Amino acid sequence: MKKERFEEFLTTHEKRIFRYLMGLTANEQDAMDLVQAVFIAIYQKFEWIEESTALSYTYRVAHNKAMTFLKHKSRYINVDPGSFTHIPAPAAAEEVDYSPLHKAIAELPPRLAAVIQLQYYEKLSYQEIAAELGISLKAVESLLVRAKRILRKKIMQDRKDDKVL
Residue 83 domain flag: no
pLDDT band at residue 163 using 50, 70 and 90 as cut-offs: low
Please give the average per-residue pLDDT across 2-10, as a whole number.
Answer: 88
d(Cα 107, Cα 65) in Å, to the nearest integer? 58
> For the chain, how many structural domains are there in total?
2
Instruction: Select from 46, 70, 72, 54 the least CA-distant residue to 17.
Output: 54
Residue 81 domain flag: no
pLDDT band at residue 165 using 50, 70 and 90 as cut-offs: very low
**144-154 per-position pLDDT tens digit:** 999 999 999 98
Helices 54-73 and 6-25 cross at an angle (nearest 10°) of 40
Q: What is the pLDDT of residue 79?
A: 73
Q: What sections of the chain are H helices per DSSP?
A: 6-25, 28-45, 54-73, 99-106, 110-116, 126-133, 137-164
pLDDT band at residue 14 using 50, 70 and 90 as cut-offs: very high
What does the H/E/C string look like for 20-36? HHHHHHCCHHHHHHHHH
**95-139 per-position pLDDT tens digit:** 888 888 888 888 889 899 999 999 988 999 999 999 988 999 999
| Co-location of 69 and 103 in the same domain | no
Instruction: Select from 59, 88, 70 the least CA-distant residue to 30.
Output: 70
Q: What is the pLDDT of residue 159?
A: 78
Q: What is the CATH number of the domain that holds 53?
A: 1.10.1740.10
| Co-location of 105 and 66 in the same domain | no
Domain range for 24 is 3-73
Three-state secondary-structure class, residue 98? coil
d(Cα 22, Cα 30) in Å, to the nearest integer? 8
Please count the residues of the chain: 165
d(Cα 119, Cα 117) in Å, to the nearest integer? 6
**50-89 per-position pLDDT tens digit:** 989 999 999 999 999 999 999 988 777 777 777 777 777 7
Please give the average per-residue pLDDT across 159-165, as a whole number.
Answer: 63
| Co-location of 109 and 49 in the same domain | no
| Residue ending a domain, choose from 58, 73, 88 | 73
pLDDT band at residue 162 using 50, 70 and 90 as cut-offs: low
